[in-house]
Amino acid sequence: MMKPKILISKCIEHCQCRYDGTMIKSDFVQMLKPFVEFITVCPEVEMGLSIPRQSLRLIYHEGNIQLIESIDGQDHTEKMNAFIRDFPLEQLNIHGSILKNRSPSCGISSVKTYSSHGKVPALAFKSVGMFARALQNHYEDLPIEDEGRLSNYVIRDHFLTSIFTLARFNPLNHHELVEFHSQNKYLLMAYHQKNQKIMGRIVANHENLSFEAVKKTYYIYLKGVFLEPVHPGKNENVILHMFGYFSQQLSIEERNFYLEQIKLYRQHKLPFPALMAMMYSWIIRFDVEYLKQQTIFEPYPKEILNLRDSGKERI
Ligand code: SF4
């Protein structure tokens, strides 16, 4: 499997480059290391600041956001803008990004914003870090998360599913594109049934477009599939579709038991992977080859599946 390319804030498990010379520990990032290709960036150090240094903050001044030193108020806005201008965003070819939360440079949301330097209370609204905003603007259709939000199981599962599916997409010819679409059928259906149907028509290529043109259009829709997290109701729809493959071969007790489990899932009393594991045992028993190949059963390596949920962050 091709490894997803992920741009990551360098201070997360890669370097002691925070303003106070520390590094952020992250079990999740440690676990990901063998499975993804990390590209690191520390905008503050790479634009010329030292380690350690004074902490920075965002201030709102006459309708603009500026990046200044928290105590002395020295303005680094232009330096950061120049760094962003020179940063090779175009050439990164990433599948997603993990940034440090709440940082005035890297935070993707909830960054405290002030009226000035010094001892003043934070303003009522929060902002986005300067580098994070540039990244979000450039890669508006890619998954960009912060390490805080990724402690939430639903957000993490969505992020991992997105980056590994995007990384898997590398068809070399029309046959491989058809295969990709077929193996991802239920995953795409769960996330975005409308796009899944459109993508089917793109693969059918009734207009006889070149393979490269078809591949490019397909990838745009693939990225669109993951813009929103999967809704439990859509998961249920997909489960019922797959259940139809062998429900007639099951006993009435088995059928009723499974329908009861689906109900529990709907009521948030059973996790989706438990429902899928039961389903997969029948796929093996009845040897349904088409379903065995479906990526929805393992959208990312099982070594990084972890149901732990901080419950802190919400989508
Ligand atoms: S949050 Fe971003 S700018 Fe700050 S230390 Fe980490 S990588 Fe560097």
Task: Give tens-digit pLDDT for 240-263.
Answer: 999 999 889 999 999 999 999 999
Residue 266 confidence (pLDDT) above 80? yes
303: region left, alpha or beta (phi > 0 left; psi from -120 to 50 alpha): alpha
Does residue 42 have its Cβ closer than 6 Å to ligand 1?
A: yes
**Contact between 116 and 73 (Cβ < 8 Å):** yes
Does residue 156 have its Cβ closer than 6 Å to ligand 1?
A: no
The Cα–Cα gap between 178 and 170 comes to 12
Does residue 105 have its Cβ closer than 6 Å to ligand 1?
A: yes
Q: What is the mean pLDDT of residues 48-75?
A: 97
| Sheet containing strand 56-61, strands side by side | 64-69, 56-61, 111-114, 126-127
Percentage of the chain lying above the pLDDT 90 cut? 89
Residue 45 confidence (pLDDT) above 90? yes
Does residue 150 have its Cβ closer than 6 Å to ligand 1?
A: no
The Cα–Cα gap between 169 and 180 comes to 7
Does residue 26 have its Cβ closer than 6 Å to ligand 1?
A: no
pLDDT at 283: 95
The residue type at 154: V
Angle between helical axes of 174-183 and 211-225 (0-180°, round to 10) = 20
- To test the ligand 1 pocket, which listed residue (29, 100, 133) has its Cβ within 8 A of the most ligand atoms? 100
Residue 314 confidence (pLDDT) above 70? no
pLDDT at 65: 96
Instruction: Give me the residue label for tokens 């693939």.
Output: 222
Atom of ligand 1 nearest to the CA of 12: 6
pLDDT at 313: 55
- At residue 308 the predicted structure's pLDDT band, cuts being 50, 70 and 90, is confident
Instruction: Give me the residue label for tokens 């809704």.
Output: 231
Ligand 1 atom 5: residue of nearest CA: 18
The Cα–Cα gap between 2 and 4 comes to 6
Task: Give tens-digit pLDDT for 192-219.
Answer: 999 999 999 999 999 999 999 999 999 9
Mean pLDDT, the chain, whole residue set: 95
More confident position, 210 or 229: 210
Spatial CB neighbours of 174, under 8 Å, sequence gap ≥ 6:
205, 211, 214
Atom of ligand 1 nearest to the CA of 10: 7
Does 52 sit behind a cis peptide bond, omega within 30 degrees of 0 on the bond before it? yes
Residue 109 confidence (pLDDT) above 70? yes
pLDDT at 315: 45
The Cα–Cα gap between 149 and 48 comes to 29
pLDDT at 305: 82
Q: What is the mean pLDDT of residues 160-181?
A: 97
Instruction: Give me the residue label for tokens 């379903």.
Output: 291
Ligand 1 atom 8: residue of nearest CA: 42
Does residue 103 have its Cβ closer than 6 Å to ligand 1?
A: yes
Instruction: Quote the pTM value.
Output: 0.94
Atom of ligand 1 nearest to the CA of 9: 7
- At residue 268 the predicted structure's pLDDT band, cuts being 50, 70 and 90, is confident
More confident position, 276 or 305: 276
What is the 45 CA–ligand 1 centroid distance (Å)? 8
Atom of ligand 1 nearest to the CA of 24: 6
b/e per residue 152-190 (b: at least 16 CB within 10 A): bbbbbbbbbbbbbbbbbbebeeeeebeebbebbbbbbbb
Residue 310 confidence (pLDDT) above 70? no
Residue 86 confidence (pLDDT) above 80? yes
What is the 225 CA–ligand 1 centroid distance (Å)? 30
Residue 235 confidence (pLDDT) above 80? yes
